[in-house]
Amino acid sequence: MITENTDIQKMLAEQRANFLITVRGISDEQARTRTTASELTLGGLLHHVISNERHWMKVIADLDETAEFDMESAGGEYVMADDETVAGLIAEWDEVARSTADALATLDLDVAVPVPTAPWAPERIWQSARFTVLHILREISQHAGHADIIREELDGANTTRTWAAAAGMSF
């Protein structure tokens, strides 16, 4: 049966797969390499999308009306730590994705979710679980584009050519 939840889960899976093309076949050293004027790296972006998905799904699960954004975690949000590996991060994301899929199977997308307060948003706001999950989708999609540019600068690979090659096409 096709439901809004299964459609969202399918789109999340497609966007994760799209993002993962950008880290396919790279070393941990390459994952930490800056290739543009930005501080962003492939490993840092991978770390972020995992952290982001885990965080927002926890916000939905907890429905904590007193939650505050953890400012201490923000500093390393876009950094692949020295003890992290590409393979380890991908395995971690697989686990997070399974947890998200399990939650989406029964999630009421209309439930009101209290957003953690933060220095930039000191007043509590509420948003639907739908909006929150779609925010995760937006983050993965946006950062897949960033990662594609970083990867292309790293070694010339890019997602479009990879998809085309898999489909037996070239351009």
Domain positions in the chain are: 4-158
- Predicted local confidence at residue 171, as pLDDT: 63
Task: Give the pTM.
Answer: 0.93
DSSP string, 38-94: SS--HHHHHHHHHHHHHHHHHHHHH--TT-B--HHHHTTTT---TT--HHHHHHHHH
Q: Across-strand partners of 114?
A: 126
pLDDT tens, residue by residue, 80-129: 999 999 999 999 999 999 999 999 999 999 999 999 999 999 999 999 99
Q: Which two tokens stand for residue 103?
A: 């939650």
| Amino acid, res. 92 | E
With CA atoms as reference, report the closest residue to 137 among 49, 40, 64, 63: 49
* Yes or no: domain 4-158 corresponds to CATH 1.20.120.450: yes
pLDDT band at 162 (very low <50, low <70, confident <90, very high): confident
Q: Quote the mean pLDDT of the chain.
A: 94
